[in-house]
Amino acid sequence: IISSILGSGIGQVTFGPDLDSGSDSVLVLDSGFGFGIDLLPHNTQHGLPVSREFLLKVMEILLEFVRQTNDRNCKVLDFHHPADMRRLLDLDIPERPVTLQQLVDDCCITLKYQVRTGHPHFFNQLSCGLDLVSMAGEWLTATANTNMFTYEIAPVFILMEHVVMEKMREIIGFQGGDSILAPGGSISNLYAFLAARHKMFPDYKNKGLSCVPGQLVMYTSDQCHYSIKSCAAVCGLGVENCVEVPSDDRGRMIPSELERLILERKARGHIPFFVNATAGTTVLGAFDPIEPIADICEKYKLWLHVDAAWGGGLLLSRKYRHLRLSGIERSDSVTWNPHKLMGALLQCSTVHFKQDCSTQTEFQQYCCATFEVSRIPENELIL
């Protein structure tokens, strides 16, 4: 994969395994310049020793990068402007196969110019460092290289996901419910939005806009994540119908303003249906007051979603959970990203629903080629 990106013209590097040193030591494969065809599964007769040597060399490069990531004397980044970086790297797609040695060299140069996001001096955006247990898990799942369609194809991972999601819902305070892993917090928020719309208009999945009798309206604070407005744009509400509720001087939604804006839109004949409370805003780290917001949502029968992508990790804190997340168990859905406060590697996002089968009724589609009922164990239908 790296070869297809970096090409074959970089040349053998002279800075590995210490990626920053001027040492002449090079990670040279003892078996010489073999090719991918010499590895398993292509070469079943002699591929194992070559495969082992190749992977161990790559592993050595990765471990050196981990060492430097935790070394305060190493730079966070060997910075170059894009035009200069383009000259340092041969990014052309090669016409002919490259050697395994070239791949090893490419690994070195890739990490040489990569930002060390786990470095003690790295303070960009919301990265939380490099957790080695999570990294080992990434290596394991990459080695397994499987989809999560059915128990038949991924029995261990399916059960693992089921148990972990169930535990996360228990921590939130949901009894039963449903969950799904998503490719980022933005998609988790989108899933929650779609589930809320489906609950109010169950025929929407099949009939579309024709089953909605008026203009839908959603509410969120003026400090919310941009993905909430994206939901309104992508799903046809229009950004103008994603109403921003004013926040106080600490960036928290003002509940009285939320109720005022709900009544204002209802008086115009619109249909409020969804409120997003943010638990940990991007800029100020503010936590919206969930309890009074939940009171308003119950009063007007609105879906309450808590975007705890950033702050969900506080659910694990005996000290801060009830100070910042009191009332989260009253919500209808929660976004929670373990790749933030919990330290999991990117991307790891989850969305949880209080109601059972929330994801199945809205998102499930039957495909006989993938989900052949006669081949699904009885218990898997419950998962």
pLDDT digits (tens, 9 = 90+) for 295-328: 999 999 999 999 999 999 999 999 999 999 999 9
- Write the pLDDT tens digit of every residue in 224-281: 999 999 999 999 999 999 999 999 999 999 999 999 999 999 999 999 999 999 999 9
Asked if 252 and 158 sit in the same domain, the reply is yes
Domain residues for the domain of 84 are 2-121
The percent of residues above 70 in pLDDT, for the chain, comes to 84
> By three-state DSSP, how is residue 178 classified?
strand
- Non-local (6+) Cβ contacts of 125 within 8 A are none
Asked if 229 and 366 sit in the same domain, the reply is yes
126 located within any domain: no
383 located within any domain: no
208: pLDDT strictly greater than 70: yes
- Non-local (6+) Cβ contacts of 352 within 8 A are 165, 168, 169, 172, 174, 177, 178, 179, 333, 334, 336
Q: Report the pLDDT averaged over residues 141-157.
A: 93
Q: pLDDT-based confidence at 209, cuts 50/70/90?
A: confident
Q: Report the pLDDT averaged over residues 63-80.
A: 96
Q: pLDDT-based confidence at 382, cuts 50/70/90?
A: very low
Asked if 81 and 147 sit in the same domain, the reply is no
- Rounded to the nearest angstrom, the gap between the alpha carbon of residue 248 and the centroid of all alpha carbons in its chain is 30
Asked if 156 and 111 sit in the same domain, the reply is no
- What is the per-residue pLDDT for 358? 57
Q: Report the pLDDT averaged over residues 67-78.
A: 95
Number of folded domains in the chain?
2
78: pLDDT strictly greater than 50: yes
- What is the per-residue pLDDT for 356? 85
* Least confident stretch, 10-19, 159-168, 277-286: 10-19
Q: pLDDT-based confidence at 20, cuts 50/70/90?
A: low
Exposure of 6 in the CB half-sphere (CA atoms within 13 A): 24
Asked if 225 and 348 sit in the same domain, the reply is yes
Asked if 34 and 181 sit in the same domain, the reply is no
- What is the per-residue pLDDT for 205? 87
- What is the per-residue pLDDT for 377? 57
130 located within any domain: no
Asked if 209 and 308 sit in the same domain, the reply is yes
67: pLDDT strictly greater than 90: yes
382 located within any domain: no
83 located within any domain: yes
Asked if 231 and 339 sit in the same domain, the reply is yes
Asked if 267 and 322 sit in the same domain, the reply is yes
More confident residue, 335 or 21: 335
319 token code pair = 């000290």
Q: What is the CATH number of the domain that holds 235?
A: 3.40.640.10
66 located within any domain: yes
133 located within any domain: no
Q: pLDDT-based confidence at 4, cuts 50/70/90?
A: very low
223: pLDDT strictly greater than 60: yes
- What is the per-residue pLDDT for 159? 96
Asked if 257 and 337 sit in the same domain, the reply is yes
* Least confident stretch, 3-17, 139-153, 175-189: 3-17
- What is the per-residue pLDDT for 158? 95
More confident residue, 357 or 188: 188
- Cα(134)–Cα(220) distance, rounded to whole angstroms? 33
- What is the per-residue pLDDT for 129? 82
Helix (H) or strand (E) holding 273: strand 271-278
Torsion of CA 166, 170, 176, 180, to 10 degrees: -40
- What is the per-residue pLDDT for 375? 57
6: pLDDT strictly greater than 60: no
What's the whole-model pTM score?
0.85
Q: Where are the alpha helices (DSSP H) in the chain?
A: 2-6, 47-69, 82-88, 100-112, 132-144, 155-172, 185-200, 204-207, 226-234, 255-267, 290-300, 321-324, 358-363
The percent of residues above 90 in pLDDT, for the chain, comes to 76
- Non-local (6+) Cβ contacts of 116 within 8 A are 65, 68, 69, 74, 75, 76, 77, 122
- What is the per-residue pLDDT for 239? 96
> By three-state DSSP, how is residue 179 classified?
strand
- What is the per-residue pLDDT for 19? 54
138 located within any domain: no
Long-range CB contacts (< 8 A, 24+ apart) of 343-349? 343/128, 343/129, 343/131, 343/134, 344/131, 344/134, 345/130, 345/131, 345/134, 345/135, 345/137, 345/138, 346/127, 347/183, 347/184, 348/181, 349/181, 349/182, 349/183, 349/184, 349/185, 349/187, 349/188, 349/309
- Non-local (6+) Cβ contacts of 242 within 8 A are 218, 219, 220, 228, 229, 231, 232
Asked if 114 and 206 sit in the same domain, the reply is no
- What is the per-residue pLDDT for 341? 86
Q: pLDDT-based confidence at 381, cuts 50/70/90?
A: very low
The full DSSP string for 185-251 is HHHHHHHHHHHHHHHH-TTHHHHGGGG--S-EEEEEETTS-HHHHHHHHHTTS-GGGEEEEPB-TTS
Asked if 19 and 89 sit in the same domain, the reply is yes
Helix (H) or strand (E) holding 40: none
Q: pLDDT-based confidence at 18, cuts 50/70/90?
A: low
The pLDDT mean for the chain works out to: 88
